[in-house]
């Protein structure tokens, strides 16, 4: 893998982490002393993706203009890696009129038609619309693909099964990705899924399936490339399960009392690990790493400043956009 | 079903409701290559209730697609294709099956436009068969339009005859919003169901729209307003004719669209008659009949000279056995009795 | 396999076929000249199971008192093989007060709590309640099992997937059976399912899966025995796909214009085939076969007579049984 | 969520709504070994909205089960277990998710008793969190009780306070029918949500039932009837107090149960006040507010001295951004304005 790609992967991961840390900070900043989920500049549920950056970076580095991605309730890392405007993303999270959905959607409902990005807060239910985007690409005869992402908890939902079957049957240009972060809120994977690897479920649809261990961004990049190339060339869908890590709570405010793997998880933070790898491989030095972090932080702060300076929607417009 | 259907005679151009619907779909498919049809048995079979007969032969399998029995996947597929600029017509074979795919319908198809702040359009037509009266039991006989109309983001249209069926279909396809198109099996003019004389009628050849959101006063009368839709329009008209002989003149409103609802037509009729009967083949409570009562009551309860009445399914699953089913359906007997009671 | 079982399998198949032929006759008898689905002594949709007798006979011969079975919109063969009262079954089909559901349910909604028999007209949605019956058996510590049946078309529905996963995870005493009759109404299996055998889907849940070819009642009996014994002994669910044949239309009135395999299907009628086998094996002679057919026909006609002589429900009772 | 919750003081026995609910469940689990609980995160987590806190510790994993995210499978499992004599309590984490499992709910859980001609009983409690007001967006903020109440075969209860929460839970568990138990997140008394003073109240220690089907007049008044439920009861009571100072006396009815609906209590209040306001956090059209209008209009429209009013979500998906969300929720401001308008 050439240096350019490696640095790009690293840069994307850093940018995501910067963003999530900034949101984390601002989310909690004004909820004290009595922590109230509905209060503050950013209200509502907040599902952050720290630890899962390698998935987003590794996949999206293989996407071309016109390709799309469909995410879940935990969508920021994928949106950022896919190139969704940081400003419009932040503004949506802050509920502003300048946001991706003019503040109507919120952090689980991000739609960027320009980059064919979307997400859904309902488990596994992002998959079916992704089939339709793939169908439209096929009909338009553009060589584009859709990557549809869910968590490992979602792999037990009916929509998962129906979507894989239909995509395989119609050879739609989709890559199905399962982010296995070991947990579905408080339920560990072994208490929800009858088998150890969802990659084995690919056989149920006659499509390739692969499980990628260790949250390794380069391995993810390589496998995603194979699957995306395959979809792009008309050979149909693949299923990738990526073992990743949820560093923080399911959502903010989650005390994670149920969790016994927190120390282990923190020891597997992919960011310092990849940084160390690139440094030891000689592709990066600490100064460059610092510079990338600073650039990312600056970009993120600019986006958040933009968001905070943007107007809130006008209550008088509350009934708009129900119908086109 | 495929019990042989007669071809419409081109001279008189009388079409059954199903053929009128299909003609509307075909004309839009001709006009707009982004229109396509998918669902269970919509291809070679032509739709269990003949809603797609002949389309496969004419447009081929790339535009008329049989699906697996995976309503969540294929209705979701329609939504996604619509967000990318296509105009899918997707069939849910019986409305009774909505429960296996409702999340795709009301949390996605219906909400994406809003959640995107208007940036994404979702022009899907979700067509579905409704209604009972032929002993198909509790899971295959429901209307459920109240359920769809209650949830924001979908238009809901319910034609009662061939002309509206074609015009509302074309309007639905051209609409930039999700439109739930609910057709009653009993008005399709199917050769294997109890015949309904008004299910065969002259239909204009050219493409035309019946505007979504406008009710039709299908019979004028000064005594009682019967607000109704779908198959019940026919029962209501029959009773109106019958009671006219007794000197009772019913005004019959075919609502045609539930969302958006044509409040003005309802209100001006009630202002004239002072008596309102809602005839509704959906369940009685928390549905259409209540909404019409509310519209009058929030405008002016004094419009009603006598208490409001409704003839609907009395909150019981649709029974299989014929005497029970006909006891709960909004039959002509029940409608006539209600009108007489309204007249005191 | 000993003679007693073979004759019993044959007898069950004959009884089912007699019943379905009698229903076929009475269903169409009074719908002429203008065939109207809602008219006649038996109105409504009618899904008959001719051709699929081996499935019902082979499975149910392995069930013990207290075991249950969950069927689909095409339920008669399973109800009969499971020992549901022929009279109460027929009476329900004729919509009578003496029917299994007092005429409220109809032929797609048959409930016989005594034999833990149930069915549902919604594709694949009979599976989830079957899990609950199995769960209750486990809780009561009775060594009983539930057999849950769907068609091959149903194997692409979300409920199929969720049910197999949950049953496997909780090791519930269920046997999942897919009756592959090649068709889901007009849609052939290859146009709906991405793979050739649903038995392969068992791997997605870590449970045994087997496909049984040729509609062979003895092969079905053997495989069902293995799966049922396994479930009974606490080892959890299995998945059996049985290749069978739909001899008649999807429902009555279906002209089957879409169907090109009708001659082939008719040539694979399992009844004469099994009769010929038993005769050639020396377990049966024509006179015995005739006697069994006559007994079955008599039993069926008695049931139908009972049904027709039973009262229709009283319209005044239409609002009963909504709540207990 | 698990932001630390304070233990209730045993001396005063004031419980939050969530603790009262859990106490009800626990007492029934003690009494009846066939009662069990299943759902997502109901075990170690104790329910996302603390509806099951402590039950796992007390009753163990064979009676308190975390499930996969497979609502169709596990709600169906509850139905099947109930048909075999168990009494499951199954949680749908947010009512907004009903669409992934609605077929199991309304075509199976709700209909099996009827289809079996009364031979099979289905005593399931389906408990689910409802409501918005904390910016959780269009897929996590709905009430949707109108949707459930419209479909026959399920009882629907909606407690607004700790005492009713416990009593309705016990009544629901003991009921031989499916009962949908809808609790508003904003009345649970969660330490991580905007506090509601009435979400903490003295609750009797012993097991007791609040009868399903009876509304409560929670404030007497002669001027305006406010019929409402759930969190809106509190807003309505607050406004009633406020307007009392202006000489307007509201009668506030906490409906508590939608199916069966306590028509008598509503009607006798309206007969007294002549003015009806429905405050409903569900969508406005084709739902609860319409049904209440219908009940009055079909009894006697002249009971209403002035037009009926409703403060509900105006048929728009729940917006994320706070100013928009609070513009569509039935806020105190909107309630007060409506009462004043009713008073002319
Ligand atoms: C149909 C549905 N059921 C339940 C939920 C509530 N819920 C939100 S996130 C979540 C866990 C998801 O786990 P997983 O798929 O592994 O994704 P992760 O949160 O780990 O990224 C659940 C149960 C939901 N949003 N939709
Ligand atoms: C959820 C749902 N979708 C569609 C239908 C309509 N339908 C009834 S039977 C059937 C075909 C079923 O095929 P299969 O599962 O193979 O069973 P078979 O009829 O062959 O026995 C369909 C699509 C339904 N009843 N439920
Ligand atoms: Mg996870
Ligand atoms: Mg089949």
Overall average pLDDT of the D320-336 stretch: 98
Which of C52, C75, C123 best tests ligand 2's pocket when mutated (most atoms within 8 Å of CB)?
A: C123
**Cβ <8 Å between D107 and B99:** yes
Interface with chain D: mutation pick from B285, B303, B308, B312, highest number of D CBs within 10 Å: B285
pLDDT band for position B4 (50/70/90)?
Answer: very low
Stretch B205-228: mean pLDDT, rounded? 98
pLDDT range class, residue D14, cuts 50, 70, 90:
very high
Please give the structure tokens belonging to residue D211. 């009868």
3-state secondary structure of C82: coil
**Model confidence at B44: pLDDT above 90:** yes
Cβ–Cβ < 8 Å for C6, C277 = no
Cis ω for the linkage preceding B344 (within 30 of 0): no
How many Å apart are CA D118 and CA D95, to the nearest integer? 28
How many Å apart are CA D259 and CA D97, to the nearest integer?
Answer: 21
Structure tokens at C208: 């045994």
Ligand 2 site-directed mutation target among C120, C156, C178, C185, most atoms within 8 Å of CB: C185
Read off the pTM. Answer: 0.98
pLDDT-flagged residues of chain C (< 70): none
First-residue to last-residue Cα distance in chain C: 47
Enumerate neighbours of D (3 or more CB pairs within 8 A): A, B, C
d(CA C123, ligand 2 centre) in Å: 5
Burial of C94 (0-12, 13-18, 19+ CB in 10 A): buried
- Bridging pattern class, strands B216-219 and B200-202: unpaired
Contacts of B104 in chain D (CB under 8 A): 99
Question: Is D152 in Cβ contact with C131 (below 8 Å)?
Answer: no
Locate D181 and state its tokens: 């138990």
ipTM beyond 0.95?
yes
What atom of ligand 1 comes closest to residue B103's alpha carbon? 1
**Below-70 pLDDT ranges, chain A:** none
Report pLDDT for D2: 42
At B166-201, the pLDDT tens digits run: 999 999 999 999 999 999 999 999 999 998 999 999
Count of beta carbons in the 10 Å neighbourhood of residue C141? 7
**Residues, chain D, total?**
344
Share of chain B above pLDDT 70, in %: 97
Task: Find the mean pLDDT for residues B270-285.
Answer: 98
Distance CA(C115)–CA(A61), nearest Å, equals 59
**CA C228, CA C167: separation in Å to the nearest integer?**
14
**pLDDT tens per residue across span B105-142:** 999 999 999 999 999 999 999 999 999 999 999 999 99
Query: What pLDDT score does C78 carry?
Result: 98
Q: Are B181 and B206 in contact (CB under 8 A)?
A: no
**Of the residues B108, B140, B234, B235, which is catalytic?**
B140
SS3 state of residue A144: coil
pLDDT given at position A221: 98
Chains that touch C (3 or more CB pairs under 8 A): A, B, D
Distance between B300 CA and the closest CA of chain C, angstroms: 34
Q: Do residues A204 and C200 lie in contact, with contact meaning Cβ atoms separated by under 8 Å?
A: yes
The beta-strand segments (E) located in chain A are: 68-71, 117-119, 146-151, 174-180, 183-184, 187-188, 209-212, 238-243
Residue C193, CA atoms < 13 Å, CB-side half-sphere: 26
Domains, chain B, in order of start with CATH, read 13-202 (3.40.50.970), 216-342 (3.40.50.920)
User: How far does the centroid of ligand 3 lie from the alpha carbon of residue A152, in Å?
Assistant: 5
* Residue C294: per-residue pLDDT: 98
Nearest 5°: the CA angle A48, A52, A54 is 145
Fold category of C39-308 in CATH: Rossmann fold (3.40.50)
Backbone φ and ψ of C63, nearest 5° = -90, 150
Chain B residues 154-213 with CB within 8 Å of chain D: none
Pairing of strands D155-157, C187-188: unpaired
Q: What would the two tokens of residue B343 be?
A: 């007249």
Residue B337 has pLDDT above 90, yes or no: yes
Question: D10 pLDDT band (50/70/90 cuts)?
Answer: low
C-alpha atoms less than 13 angstroms from C-alpha of D17 in its C-beta half-sphere: 26
The first and second tokens of residue A206, run together, are: 């006659």
Indicate which residue's Cα is closest to atom 25 of ligand 1.
A122
């Amino acid at each position: 893998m050439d240096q350019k790609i490696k640095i790009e992967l690293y840069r994307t991961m850093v940018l995501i982490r910067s963003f999530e840390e900034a949101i984390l900070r601002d989310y909690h900043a004004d909820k004290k002393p009595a922590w109230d989920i509905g209060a503050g500049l950013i209200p509502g549920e907040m599902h952050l993706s720290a630890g899962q950056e390698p998935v987003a970076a590794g996949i999206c580095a293989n996407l071309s203009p016109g390709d799309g991605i469909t995410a879940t309730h935990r969508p920021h890392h994928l949106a950022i890696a896919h190139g969704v405007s940081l400003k419009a993303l932040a503004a949506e999270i802050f509920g502003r009129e300048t946001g991706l959905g003019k503040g109507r959607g919120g952090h689980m409902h991000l739609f960027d038609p320009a980059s064919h990005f979307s997400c859904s807060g309902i488990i596994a239910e992002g998959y079916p619309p992704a089939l339709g985007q793939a169908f439209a690409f096929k009909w338009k005869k553009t060589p584009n693909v859709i990557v549809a992402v869910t968590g490992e908890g979602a792999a037990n939902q009916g929509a998962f099964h129906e979507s894989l079957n239909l995509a395989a049957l119609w050879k739609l240009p989709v890559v199905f990705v399962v982010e296995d972060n070991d947990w579905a809120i408080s339920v560990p994977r072994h208490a929800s899924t009858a088998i150890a690897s969802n990659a084995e479920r690919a056989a149920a649809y006659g499509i390739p399936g692969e499980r990628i261990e260790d949250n390794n961004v380069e391995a993810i990049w390589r496998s995603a490339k194979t699957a995306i190339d395959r979809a792009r060339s008309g050979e149909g869908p693949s299923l990738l399960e990526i073992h990743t890590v949820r560093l923080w709570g399911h959502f903010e405010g989650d005390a994670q009392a149920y969790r016994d793997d927190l120390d282990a998880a923190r020891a597997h933070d992919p960011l310092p690990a990849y940084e160390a790898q690139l440094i030891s491989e000689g592709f990066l030095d600490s100064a460059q790493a610092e510079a990338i972090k600073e650039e990312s932080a600056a970009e993120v702060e600019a986006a958040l400043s933009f968001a905070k300076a943007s107007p809130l929607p006008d209550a008088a417009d509350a009934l708009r956009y129900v119908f086109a | 079903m495929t019990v042989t259907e007669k071809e419409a005679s081109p001279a008189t151009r009388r079409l059954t409701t199903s053929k009128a619907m299909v003609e509307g779909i075909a004309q839009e498919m001709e006009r707009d290559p982004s229109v396509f049809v998918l669902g269970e048995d919509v291809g070679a079979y032509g739709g269990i209730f003949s809603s797609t007969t002949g389309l496969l032969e004419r447009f081929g399998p790339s535009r008329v697609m049989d699906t697996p029995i995976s309503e969540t996947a294929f209705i979701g597929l329609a939504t996604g294709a619509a967000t990318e600029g296509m105009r899918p017509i997707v069939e849910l074979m019986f409305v009774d099956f909505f429960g296996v795919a409702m999340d795709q319908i009301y949390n996605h198809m219906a909400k994406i436009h809003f959640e995107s702040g208007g940036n994404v359009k979702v022009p899907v037509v979700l067509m579905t068969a409704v209604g009972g009266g032929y002993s198909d039991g509790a899971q295959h006989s429901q209307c459920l339009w109240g359920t769809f109309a209650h949830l924001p983001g979908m238009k809901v249209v319910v034609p009662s005859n061939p002309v509206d069926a074609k015009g509302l279909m074309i309007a639905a396809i051209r609409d930039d919003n999700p439109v739930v198109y609910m057709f009653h099996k009993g008005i399709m003019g199917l050769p294997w169901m109890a015949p309904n004389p008004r299910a065969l009628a002259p239909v204009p050849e050219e493409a035309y729209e019946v505007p979504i959101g406008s009710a039709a006063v299908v019979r004028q009368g000064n005594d009682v307003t019967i607000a109704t839709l779908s198959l019940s329009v026919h029962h209501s008209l029959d009773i109106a004719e019958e009671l006219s002989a007794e000197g009772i003149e019913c005004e019959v409103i075919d609502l045609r669209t539930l969302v958006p609802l044509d409040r003005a037509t309802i209100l001006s009729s009630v202002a004239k008659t002072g008596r309102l009967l809602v005839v509704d083949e959906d369940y009685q409570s928390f549905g259409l009949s209540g909404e019409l009562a509310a519209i009058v009551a929030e405008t002016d309860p004094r419009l009603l000279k006598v208490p409001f009445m409704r003839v609907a399914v009395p909150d019981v699953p649709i029974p299989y056995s014929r005497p029970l089913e006909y006891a709960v359906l909004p039959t002509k007997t029940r409608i006539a009795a209600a009108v007489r009671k309204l007249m005191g």
